[in-house]
Amino acid sequence: MQFIQSNIWLILIAVTSGLMLLWSFVGNRLRGVKEADCVAALQMINHKDAVVLDVRENEEFKAGHLLNAKQIPLGKLRERIGELERYREKPVVVVCRSGQRSATACALLGREGFAQVYNLAGGIMAWQKANLPLEK
């Protein structure tokens, strides 16, 4: 008991970091976000005519993006969601730098009735690591 009282802050930090790590593994599943790795995303793009939605900012997008990607920054997605209406029945692969912003966008699109929304796991960083092409 003395150990716990003496080290309460360290114990709280350890518990908090453990909960954050756990959330990173199950949080997207709880929010209903489906993930696709690079191979699955490429197959959806090539064989199911999936739309690629890039939710990064303009500068990031200009530095390199997936071919034919449609860019709507995450901060403007809610107000510009009407631009995606014609893709409501198609698979949508959502991309950002690492997969965090795109997961938020996937959750938003899911709430708006888009049923086939997939987060690119690992984002552009995973795409580049797999040596897949980017357009500038």
Q: Any idea which residues carry the catalytic annotation? A: 96
DSSP letter string, 60-129: HHHH-B-TT-EE--GGGHHHHGGGGGGGTTS-EEEE-SSSHHHHHHHHHHHHTT--SEEEETTHHHHHHH
Q: How far apart are CA 83 and CA 4, in angstroms?
A: 55
**Phi, then psi, of 93 in degrees rounded to 5:** -100, 120
